[in-house]
Amino acid sequence: LFREYFPLDKCILWIGALGITFYFFRRYIEGGQFTKDHVKMNGKVVIITGANTGIGKETALDLARRNAKIYLACRDNKRCEAARLEIIEKTGNTNIFNRHLDLGNLQSVREFAEKFSKEEKHLDVLINNAGVFYLPHSLTKDGCEIHMHVNHLGHFLLSHLLLELLKKAPQGRIVNVSSLMYGRAKIDQDDLHLQKPNNFEKWKAYSNSKLAQILTTQRLSEKLKGTNVTINCLHPGVIYTDIGRHMTMPRLWSGYSIQLWYTLLTNP
């Protein structure tokens, strides 16, 4: 009976088609590839936001091994300090510093930039990595939707406040960590903070913030032509990090779907 409804040749065909689809989908979402080199960053000053975990932490580890001077800019001081000590232990680089930065608070961004400007005479690299994802609707104390504020506006302000220090470096670089999710954005210019009834969706809020990030990256890139500062954004791939900790699934489905999803993910 099984063979009657599921002929072997058709089963093989379907399995092959699913396998090919799975392979190309994974290649699509995994992000760009690069070959590690041995270029050193002696004397280079770097800021990485959200550097206590995930992509930010792995980036800090790599740059620490290249002898860069790194400022870990994080909201949680305790976790940031733990990451700082771990990076020092693993790399032997003691020029790693823990600095408080809450991207959901514009005053905190201003205070961070002001303090950093007193500590350093230039900035070589600013990596805007921190982000939030799949949070329920809420507004920051500045009145902005949380995804748009943390993922875009906070970094936008930080980049502008540090721009003069970046221009003082031989080659200043701003790197915005973005996402392919920007393609799902639906920005309502009359409701940027998604307060209209039934207008808020967690996926849309995140996607909107990433589209805004990309658009401002393009605009700032045009303004910086002719200077020694470049700005770029990137899709790092779909990575297994803490950013997805707020996602939930129906209990019956989650056990199967989450295992399938993990096979698509890459470690930082």
C-alpha–C-alpha distance, residues 205 and 185, integer Å: 8
CA distance 172 to 163: 9
Number of Cβ within a 10 Å radius of residue 163: 21
| Diameter of the chain measured on Cα atoms | 78
Half-sphere exposure of 61 (CA within 13 A, CB side): 14
Residues 104 and 138: beta-carbon distance below 8 Å: no
Beta strands across the sheet bearing 45-49: 96-100, 69-74, 45-49, 125-128, 172-177, 229-234
The answer to whether residues 74 and 127 touch, using CB atoms and an 8 Å cutoff, is: no
Catalytic residue among 5, 71, 134, 206: 206
Would you call 240 a catalytic residue per the annotation?
A: no
CA–CA dist 129, 58 (Å, integer): 11
Q: What stretch of H or E contains 81?
A: helix 77-91
Q: What positions carry a catalytic annotation?
A: 206
